[in-house]
A and B are shown apart, each in its own frame.
Chain A
Amino acid sequence: MSPTAWGWLVLAFPLAGFLINAFGWRVLRGRAAGWIGTVAVALAFASAIGALVTLLGHTESDRTLTSSLWTYASAAGLDIKLGILVDPLSVFMILVVSGVSMLIHLYSVAYLDSDRGYARYFSYLNFFVFSMLLLVLAGNFVLLIVGWAFVGFASYALISFWYRRNTATKAGMKAFVINVIGDVGLVLATFFIFRDLGTFDYPAVFSAAQEQFQTNQGVLIAICLLLLVAAFAKSAQLPLHTWLPDAMEGPTPVSALIHAATMVTAGVYLIARTHVLFELAPTAADISAFIGLATLIFAATCALAVTDLKRIIAYSTISQIGYMVVGVSIGAYGAGLFHLMTHAFFKALLFMAAGSVIAAMAGTQNIDRMGGLRRALPLTSVLMIIGALALAAFPGTSGFFSKDEILVFAAQRGGMYWIFTIGGYLGALLTGFYAFRIIFRVFWGEPVPEARELEGGHLAHAPPENPLTGEKEDTDVGFPGADHHIAERDWPMGSAMTILGFLALFGGLVQIPGVTNVIETFLAPAFADSIFEDIIPSTGSAYIGLAVGAAVSIVGVAAAYLVYVSRPGTAPALIQRFRPIHAFLVNKWYFDELYDAVVYRPLIATGRFANAVIERVVVQGIVTAAVDLVRGVGVVVRGAQSGFVRAYALLLVGGFAALGLYFLIASQ
């Protein structure tokens, strides 16, 4: 079988799983829906491996393959095929997406076991996987837009999964609206591309762009900036990041899959896919890199102060995607995508562990109310520490190799790109601190009542309530069902987390400077046309970077240990001392309030004005005037309708006679 045939199979399995779960929910009993969804994604993963193996059978120059099922639209010079592009980049993406999705499906089988919407959940989740795979396999910009919009919808549906929870439906709407801003950017960019290059297919667009555009030509920068709007909305970069922390209203495995491992990295994939355009428009690429840097530092500072367990990890996701955006924007494609992969591993793991912790805490998400869970949750705590180590880029873990590779590449480009290296290490310091702030707050310290109860062998249950507002709820909504599930007691959860734990710990070994170079070698054909191909940091500088990264990470972790474990009173004292700064960070730099004042309130005011003046006075005035005119004319004309048939006949005959007379006189 050819790689493209495997590619079609990769798409077919999750679609089939989605349809079976969507239409079969009445007859699927117990955990059947969950297993159907998991098996569908596992088959997709197997097909992705098939695509990988067959693609490696091709020679390196021959690893970009296209295939189309049928023509989508063909008219007036427009030729859109329902086609996929299988090259190292898309194969890399489908492997990461389907692999991590498979583990998260497995985890969800147990985690959402007692939820009333079990089959609905898995049909959404399979639909998401299908859409995401379509996004990364699409062979032209039109199909990319289709996948892009589909994942946006899947994200909306899953954030609002507990649809009776008011905060969840609002968060879903927020995510959808901001994602649509990105969709508009993508569609407009595609219009410009078609107008100037006359095609939608990736290979044709990129070769035509290199011929037709000069470096930094105005329209090209416009295209790149519009693509960036799309990428930043999807990847939650400044200033379009506000939806991601709210997206934590969805079930925790959804946060792990969509809002950490896969969908939010679509923007990184988009920049990597269109790298030819960005290399021709270095200004746009630099803007992108600076926004990535600003985002990674901004989000890391927010993660220092927020107290909601899932929201801390969400800000950490925003921050880590900032690293990836910096990477792919400065030309470190291999490193950026390598970080995408390792981040998918350790961030999915952190969310899964967080789900287990929240279950043990009977739905509480506030880390101020947690503590001492280490002995109650042995497996979860070990795996979450592994995840946090990888996130903090602790020496030897996967995040260590991937993050430093980006920063060393930035240093190698030199000049102003040193800013990214310095800023990146600053962010890494904060990362080490906030990653272990979670660990020390949740697992160290005095055990809370829930932890003691669990140590005694009983899992705490509390009346369900909204973790954000504290509102009471029934068991039909909110925290997954009446029964809680933790990794220690349900093997699907424990095994999925253990596999990810291994990947988070050892995933970096495929790319050790001077020893292995698996990812970059594999991705090289997809970026063979890159102008940055010959910028390769020397092994020596790579190790200097790793040493700095190790030092920064250890300092960050040690600072967290100092503040939260060895001197427990330090954190409140610091908060007391820097109260304004703390308030600023807890309120996430007041971005929501800013948008409220700049966008929401003016829009509402405009709406009120339009209703009071334009609708009530102008539009209704015109309508009323028209009605009055017709009625007035009617009153005048009504007099002629006497009802006397003979009078009508006389008018008719008289009229004709008058006409005849007129023509007689006129003809003389």
Chain B
Amino acid sequence: MKIEEKLYGLRWKHDKQSHITVTDDRLCRERCPSEWKRPCTTFCPANVYNWDGDKIAISFENCVECTSCILGCPYRNIDWQLPRGGFGIEWQHG
């Protein structure tokens, strides 16, 4: 089963503004490929992070707020903030 299918059934209340930013794109471009191979593109359980050839593209709408990326980026280069009150993932079962 693909991750897209798993995410398909989930519910969010989407904010217009992203709660996630990459602080320094150069780290993702220059250092991370050889040192870590961009682990955010594999450990994020909601596939939020993808390399678009130039920078990390952030699909913040997919974020399920597990907070792993705060610790999982080897350079602490992901600025992940809590979504505004009432926004973000809404689990149906938990």
Q: Do A and B bind each other?
A: no
The interface of chain B, by Cβ under 8 A from chain A, is: none
